Structure 1
């Protein structure tokens, strides 16, 4: 009987449906992993509260002052934290991790687990997102993480498939709710986490620049903003756990984003509930939609207002858009479809031969001593004393060599064959990887 794979799913937020987009995505990955093997869900709460539940909770750590600075969230779950979490724990065949912020933690954990594969879901393109907002410092920090992930992970995915990552779209359950929109007082609905700056900016722009033109033409219309943080905005009602009733009564859902990246889970939710959607190009970016077929798109306030009014006044248009969008969800974004695609990727990673090279980890300081080598890891606050044999493996690894080349290099000048040394060198390499002194890189 084939052993059932053991998979650790590392997430920055508790998986939840309903929930915000990241919680939705976490639930989809958790279910996908469960199709493949036994899942150990590990919450490292960089993006949400440290809640208890059907998962293991790993506390965040204080950011280190050593080494290259990580982005703020990632600094609370660095690579050395992942190594320490995994050391001495159960073995895993694979780690699936959600988000660039937790990628260092997962790569460190995998280094401490012999033969463990790593699938990193970057979710959004945070490099492009921060560049678009003029925050080059944050973009540079995320770019360093992404570059490391590309070298070391077995597979890299994202919500849109940007830059040759594997596209794993956001997923929703394609089950339209019973709908009864109010004709006398049509509801225009915006759902989102308003603590996320692009959502808050988009909501304010819609309220200030778009909504006045809508109510001038459809006097009875009512705007409802829903989601965490919306209670502080005009027309906001705050967090609502079950959105079924709101979607059922809405005449149109709006996604008026001016900035952002990834794909909009709330647009997909509206599609799944059979609600016509109007939004900006950025608001629907990342979804395979066509203007006038699945939704209406407009990027300027007057045009967006006119699009909302069109849907409110034309029941036939609203029905046609909603039906086409719902069909799109069934075909391409339904949870069963997306989770199956993610599960197939994990299975492929587990079943593929692995070719790696080994190199010394960056930002280490070495000092020769009489009986070997001292290696200082400032980021982890650790000093390692390597005996001469271990130091030889560490030094031969250099900037990237195959295990075979390392064995040959260590054997040079010794009265030993490569075959004799292979098992010993393998064990030393694994120990140095678990200490964070060596890292493995995929030989693609």
Structure 2
């Protein structure tokens, strides 16, 4: 297998040590696929999903889940998680919670999944996929979705198969084709918010509707992109790197600080009309470094809550309480065992609602129930769980 590389020094700093944790990830994929179901207090409402990410509520309170897929037979490229191979295995799944049924309603979507490897410590083929990241139903037939990229947009020039990645698109339930709304990766390439010594990077993730358009969190670009009704784009807000403590295996003097990228993962609209943005943080994925940001209509950024770890999604619940998903409560270098936490109205310290979840990622709330994706890095091991809010 050969791969092409568009990786800048910035991206190599992100890759160099997370890939050393591949053995831990592989062990988690083998040992924990049933972890979500084993923890009492919630139930599994969907299973067998491929790398499920964000989810949302649609008409009739059906759930729509973005499955990032498992990649395919190629071409294969270098990514932040190692070599990944392309295929049209991404999908959107609809879950009828009342009937207990699930079905893929939009299929054949672009996906990059972990390449096959003879290394027993490597993640299983199709893990850590990048593909459909978030989805929103509009009416009974139309779906709006982001498709991630996780790379320099220039990789799409060498591999035209990847042309749909890094975009915001619409699709029709029951089909396998989509229509371009906005090429977010092209916007990042043209308006790179990071220093000019670094190559552009784009990985559109969560998004929210604002008026007749959308605001998309780009985890690669470290920004929010505003998409107007006509598809035109502007950078609404940017998020700066933070200083994190270097892990011992880097061999640096104890206490050395290194920059960690912001990595915004989701944008939601709050009850006050402001945007609330979750933050994963980049390598070394330090425990307690992640924030939840509040962004006003001018793009001004403030910290709403801090002291969190590797946050991937947000949702407001009853009483203005904000719920956040942490994909790895101890930091990603320690393995993808995460939690759902709550932040009181107006901000404050987080309280654990549910812990011990295997790679949780997305959250959607209706009434007193939170629906959470779990197994978000696992091919075929993904779930949606129903969590009562207390």
The TM-score range, normalised by the shorter chain, is under 0.3
Higher Cα radius of gyration: 1
Query: Quick check: which one's strand share is greater?
Result: 2
Query: Quick check: which one's helix share is greater?
Result: 1
